Chain A
Amino acid sequence: MTPSGVEKLLRALDSERVAFVIIGGAAAVLQGSAYVTNDLDVCYSRERKNLEKLVAALAPLHPSLRAAPKNLPFKLDAATLKSGLNFTFDTDIGDLDLLGEVSGLGDYSAVEALSEEMEIFGMRCKVLTLEGLIKAKRAAGRRKDLLILPELEALLEIRKGQKKD
């Protein structure tokens, strides 16, 4: 995904007023991590209205299921999103992962409670906090998740130190 692709994707979600929180590697980057990610993970609200907004935002980007057989029929609509939970999409501008729930945190409302707003490309976007990222990475427990923990904990300590000053 390119920087302009991320901007386009965020603008599409923002223009439809989709309820979402940036999570995963992109959230870590936004919080100051030096790790490099090439996709975008978001946690989305599964309320019916939000699913419709999500479809309206993503349809122009032609999402298809990543790693699924090309002949597997897939139609992006609110009913499809409702019947699933977590989706890994390949879109015209790159990989997008939609998560209805995040391990260690829970559904959108739990993730939103652990989010903070940041201005990205001139938009106010919700981003998972360092505390939320650390909790989620610990819960996921995979090697790649655990490797980033010392860095996230260091960033949290720096952030706390800055607040004291």
Chain B
Amino acid sequence: MLEFASMAEPSAKQKTALERAQEEGVDLTQLYERLSWTPTERIRRNYEGAILVEELKKAGQRHRDAKRG
């Protein structure tokens, strides 16, 4: 029985980091895409994205404020 348990356990541990990440909802296609970019492209696109996120937050806040009157 013990032998069976010790045989069963490794298979659960054999999940790769990629498999675990997928289970956690990580979009691997996004990682591969970013790895095809240069470091400068990665950093440039990140901060462009951050500006967009800030703009969306502000727009959302303006909308909520307008609804409150």
Q: Which positions in A face B, CB cutoff 8 Å? A: 1-3, 5-6, 26, 29-30, 32-34, 36-38, 118-122, 127, 150-151, 153-158
Q: Tell me the bound Cα distance from A78 to B32 in angstroms.
A: 42
Which of A26, A34, A153 is B30 in contact with, Cβ under 8 Å? Answer: A34
User: Number of B residues whose C-beta is below 8 Å from A?
Assistant: 28
* Contact of A154 with B27 at beta-carbon distance under 8 Å, contacts A37-B50, A38-B50, A38-B54 already known: no
Q: Are B28 and A154 in contact (CB under 8 A)?
A: yes
Q: Which positions in B face A, CB cutoff 8 Å? A: 16-18, 20-21, 24, 26-28, 30-32, 34-35, 38-40, 42-44, 46-51, 53-54
* Contact of A151 with B26 at beta-carbon distance under 8 Å, contacts A3-B48, A32-B31, A38-B50 already known: yes
* Contact of A33 with B50 at beta-carbon distance under 8 Å, contacts A150-B20, A154-B18, A157-B18 already known: no
Q: Tell me the bound Cα distance from A30 to B47 in angstroms.
A: 12
9 more CB-based (< 8 A) A-B contacts, given A30-B43, A154-B21: A3-B43, A5-B47, A30-B39, A30-B42, A153-B17, A154-B18, A154-B31, A157-B17, A158-B35
